[in-house]
């Protein structure tokens, strides 16, 4: 596996990208990995590498780049400044960069994320037609505006790819009631989706750096389902 740290320009700012991919000649299916509210930290980089070990070209953009490299604010504070209009620009710029990479099959790209990243995956499934699949791991706040414009939930009718969702039974954002509301809306608009609930599991259950939240069984089961979903919709043999 090879990892890459590079920068691209978005709105005149330098945005860091962390990428990982298997040692292969390509072209590879790709996944855009979206951070949780704590940013592109060790957990998010490990998840990016995990997808590379499973055969994908994985790239994670730093959605907090507008704060500048010296920002010391905590994750929730920085997430509170996030705006969907900027997020859409950042993800679109990431996909454009992927298209320029000879190792990537630009026809086979998915998006996925954790916590706020799950919300972004849902948003981008509606805001872009570049993705063949989207996965949301415990993506909360889909019913809230981040800046001007509609919420991700309000854009459900625009979704253009299948969605898979993983939810903790005891999570408070998203709750099971939130999941049910998303399910009804997706079904109403005829959107292909699969949702899974993990018993005795709360938020951040994939993150071993939060041992009070990490649930090994839920991690293992949701990851296997996620890989199966990606392989199906990205036509991975």
Is the CATH code 3.40.50.300 the one for domain 2-233? no
Q: What confidence score (pLDDT) does residue 26 get? A: 77
Q: What confidence score (pLDDT) does residue 237 get? A: 59
Residue 121, pLDDT above cutoff 80: yes
Round to whole Å and give the CA distance between 21 and 57: 4
Round to whole Å and give the CA distance between 210 and 50: 18
Strands 57-61 and 13-21: antiparallel
Round to whole Å and give the CA distance between 78 and 66: 10
24: confidence class by pLDDT, cuts 50, 70, 90: confident
Q: Where are the domains of the chain?
A: 2-233
pLDDT in tens, 161-201: 999 999 999 999 999 999 999 999 999 999 999 999 999 99
Q: What confidence score (pLDDT) does residue 6 get? A: 98
Q: What confidence score (pLDDT) does residue 200 get? A: 98
Average pLDDT over residues 204-218: 97
Strands 57-61 and 133-137: unpaired
| Token pair listed for 160 | 């253009």
pTM for this prediction: 0.97
Round to whole Å and give the CA distance between 220 and 218: 5
Number of C-beta neighbours around residue 175 at 10 A: 15
Q: What confidence score (pLDDT) does residue 235 get? A: 84
Q: What confidence score (pLDDT) does residue 25 get? A: 81
């Amino acid at each position: 596996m090879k990892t890459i740290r590079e920068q691209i320009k978005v709105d005149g700012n330098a945005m860091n990208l962390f990428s990982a991919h298997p040692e292969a000649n390509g072209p590879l299916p790709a996944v855009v990995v979206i951070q949780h509210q704590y940013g592109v930290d060790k957990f998010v980089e490990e998840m990016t590498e995990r997808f590379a070990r499973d055969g994908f070209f994985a790239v994670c953009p730093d959605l907090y780049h507008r704060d500048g490299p010296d920002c010391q604010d905590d994750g929730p504070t920085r997430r509170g400044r996030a705006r969907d209009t900027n997020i859409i620009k950042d993800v679109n710029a990431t996909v454009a960069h992927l298209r320029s990479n000879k190792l990537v099959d630009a026809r086979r790209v998915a998006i996925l994320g954790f916590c706020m990243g799950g919300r972004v995956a849902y948003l981008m499934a509606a805001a872009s037609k570049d993705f063949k699949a989207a996965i949301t791991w415990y993506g909360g706040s889909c019913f809230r505006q981040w800046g001007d414009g509609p919420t991700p939930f309000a854009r459900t009718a625009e979704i253009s790819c299948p969605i898979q969702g993983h939810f903790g039974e005891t999570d408070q954002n998203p709750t099971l009631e939130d999941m049910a509301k998303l399910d009804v809306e997706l079904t109403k608009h005829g959107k292909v989706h699969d949702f899974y609930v993990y018993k005795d599991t709360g938020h951040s259950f994939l993150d071993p750096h939060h041992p009070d939240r990490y649930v090994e069984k839920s991690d293992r089961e949701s990851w296997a389902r996620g890989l199966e979903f990606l392989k199906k919709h990205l036509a991975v043999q």
